Amino acid sequence: MSVGVAGIREYSRITEIKGPLLIVEGVSNVSYDEIVEVELPSGEKRRGRVLDVARGVAVVQVFEGTTGITTTGTKVRFLGKPLEIPVSEDMLGRIFNGLGEPIDGGPKIIAEDERDVNGAPLNPAERSYPEDFIQTGVSAIDGMNTLVRGQKLPIFSGSGMPHNILAAQIARQATVRGEAEEFAVVFAAIGIKYDDYMFFRKFFEETGALNRVAMFVNLADEPAMVRLVTPRSALTLAEYLAYERDMHVLVILTDMTNYAEALREISAAREEVPGRQGYPGYLYSDLASIYERAGRVKGKKGSITQMPILTMPNDDITHPIPDLTGYITEGQIVLSRELHNKGIYPPINVLMSLSRLMKEGIGPGKTREDHAEVSNQLYAAYSRGVELRSLAAVVGEESLSEVDRKYLKFADLFERRFLSQGPRENRSIEQTLDIAWDILSTLPEDELVNIKEETIKKYHPNYRKM
């Protein structure tokens, strides 16, 4: 062994290589989760971290993979600290790899500080409950699944569906009413295809947002293990900007399915007892260590709003990745292939979607006093319409009662008038609620059982005309 500067220790006894793992022997003073630099005989350097350590033996996970690594001639340096990235306000407008190193050819980042990418858990007693309404301009979200500042709200999508367009639309249109300030955006590309990455890049360029966006990019053809770090690097910067630089940060993480697959790979290499579909039993806690890095804290102006995107394998919402995500996040926006195939954009399945923080973000002074009741009524009426639609498919529309046929029509109106809008159409919350009243008024007034009389008298088109 040779001791270098500042507690850096170097070893070269690699006894085993399997998958992304190196077993290094003869080590001493190695700590759990410590970061490692691996130098190949060619001089190429890779990074890794300690996953397990016993006396004299360390298991090292190499982020860039072990391809080409030999047991002889390879040097492993233990750097004496967990993986850190520099943080600075100047990182906005820049592009980094998953480990936080600039890849845009720009100048080196002058760090205001170095931070452990793993972060630390937010103290629940120091959080402050998110409640500021974000107007996204998308009716299905604002009207029925309202997003608030500091929320973590994922998009559950499937391959070939317009989740990128929707995420970009939200990023462009999102505003907190009464505040001029725009969101800073931290974008993490996790194992996505080059064209998906270019879509976002062009989008940020076109909207002139590039200077308030920091991108952390790990593409599909880049090392899979870096995917485990990419969202954490992004969130480390986001935390710095939100809690120390008073910014409102929107974090987009795409695609979390690739993240979970990388985690499965490392778990398999460690020969751990697999859980459902081969994913490790700790997938829940691991995902939570990412998703919970959102919110607001007491006494600080800034916030982190998270919008993870994931593609559901086979459109299956019970697959472990969407399932565990839904158990952690504060709701979900679910895209529907059926609506997509019908040509409806955004193809949001509102019945499966949910915003758990909606109730605090809406109502008088925030959106409008009728919001909660209107939303409840839309849900009740649309779900009844959808139910009757499948019934009508069996027994025929003519054997439905007159009222039931009105519900059928309502479901169509809901999809064509309320749900459907252009990717650049930015509706105010008032417009959204007014459309809702328009379509609700096609139902007999007695059917609006979720709305109080006073509210009907004030907002129902029948009374407003007078």
Ligand X SMILES: Nc1ncnc2c1ncn2[C@@H]1O[C@H](COP(=O)(O)OP(=O)(O)O)[C@@H](O)[C@H]1O
Binding at 278: pick from another protein, ligand X, none (beta carbon under 5-8 Å per type): none
Nearest residue to 21 via CA among 49, 50, 57, 60: 60
- Structural tokens at position 85: 């990235």
Shortest approach of ligand X to residue 135 CB, angstroms?
19
Binding at 71: pick from ligand X, another protein, none (beta carbon under 5-8 Å per type): none
d(CA 335, CA 81): 42
Nearest residue to 220 via CA among 359, 115, 98: 98
Site for another protein contains 282 (CB under 8 A): yes
* Residue 377: CB atoms within 10 Å: 22
Contact 109, 94 (CB under 8 A): yes
d(CA 73, CA 76): 10
Binder among 127, 201, 337, 356 for ligand X (CB under 6 A): 356
Q: Which residues make beta-bridge pairs with 250?
A: 185, 305
Which residue's CB is nearer to another protein, number 52 or number 338?
Answer: 52
d(CA 418, CA 108): 48
Nearest residue to 47 via CA among 25, 73, 70, 20: 20
Contact 321, 155 (CB under 8 A): no
Binding at 42: pick from another protein, ligand X, none (beta carbon under 5-8 Å per type): none
Binding at 395: pick from ligand X, another protein, none (beta carbon under 5-8 Å per type): another protein
Binding at 383: pick from another protein, ligand X, none (beta carbon under 5-8 Å per type): another protein
Query: Which residues are CB-contacts of 234 (< 8 A; sequence separation ≥ 6)?
Result: 186, 187, 188, 214, 216, 251, 253
Binder among 2, 71, 128, 428 for another protein (CB under 8 A): 128
Stretch that binds another protein, among 6-14, 102-110, 112-120, 434-442 (CB under 8 A): 112-120
End-to-end CA distance of the chain: 89
Which residue's CB is nearer to another protein, number 346 or number 385?
Answer: 385
d(CA 40, CA 93): 33
Binding at 266: pick from ligand X, another protein, none (beta carbon under 5-8 Å per type): none
What are the C-alpha distances in Å from 361 to residues 67, 130, 135, 202, 305? 50, 8, 10, 32, 14
Binder among 5, 72, 110, 123 for another protein (CB under 8 A): 123
- Structural tokens at position 271: 């020969």
Site for another protein contains 464 (CB under 8 A): no
Residues 162-191 that bind another protein (CB under 8 A): none
Binding at 351: pick from another protein, ligand X, none (beta carbon under 5-8 Å per type): another protein
Binder among 207, 399, 428, 462 for another protein (CB under 8 A): 399
Q: Which helix (H) or strand (E) element contains residue 407? A: helix 402-413
Give residue 322's region: left, alpha or beta (phi > 0; psi -120 to 50).
Answer: alpha
Shortest approach of another protein to residue 307 CB, angstroms?
16
Give residue 434's region: left, alpha or beta (phi > 0; psi -120 to 50).
Answer: alpha
Residues 65-104 that bind another protein (CB under 8 A): 82
Residues 15-34 that bind another protein (CB under 8 A): 28-34
Stretch that binds another protein, among 11-19, 37-45, 229-237, 390-398 (CB under 8 A): 390-398
Binding at 5: pick from ligand X, another protein, none (beta carbon under 5-8 Å per type): none
Shortest approach of ligand X to residue 450 CB, angstroms?
11
Contact 106, 94 (CB under 8 A): yes
Binding at 318: pick from ligand X, another protein, none (beta carbon under 5-8 Å per type): another protein
Which residue's CB is nearer to ligand X, number 92 or number 354?
Answer: 354
Residues 354-383 that bind another protein (CB under 8 A): 354, 356-357, 359, 372, 376, 379-380, 383
d(CA 242, CA 251): 11
Nearest residue to the partner ligand X, using Cβ: 356
How, if at all, do strands 75-78 and 84-87 pair? Answer: unpaired
Site for another protein contains 6 (CB under 8 A): no
Binder among 125, 180, 195, 364 for another protein (CB under 8 A): 125
Binding at 117: pick from ligand X, another protein, none (beta carbon under 5-8 Å per type): none
Residues 294-313 that bind another protein (CB under 8 A): 295, 297-298, 300
What are the C-alpha distances in Å from 300 to residues 280, 284, 304? 36, 29, 11
Contact 187, 252 (CB under 8 A): yes
Site for another protein contains 285 (CB under 8 A): yes
Binding at 199: pick from another protein, ligand X, none (beta carbon under 5-8 Å per type): none
Shortest approach of ligand X to residue 354 CB, angstroms?
6
202-220: buried (b, 16+ CB within 10 Å) or exposed (e) per residue? ebbeeeebbebbbbbbbbb
Which residue's CB is nearer to another protein, number 210 or number 334?
Answer: 334
Site for another protein contains 63 (CB under 8 A): no
Residues 315-334 that bind another protein (CB under 8 A): 318, 320, 323-324, 326-328, 330-332
Site for another protein contains 275 (CB under 8 A): yes
**Which residues lie near ligand X (CB under 6 A)?**
354, 356
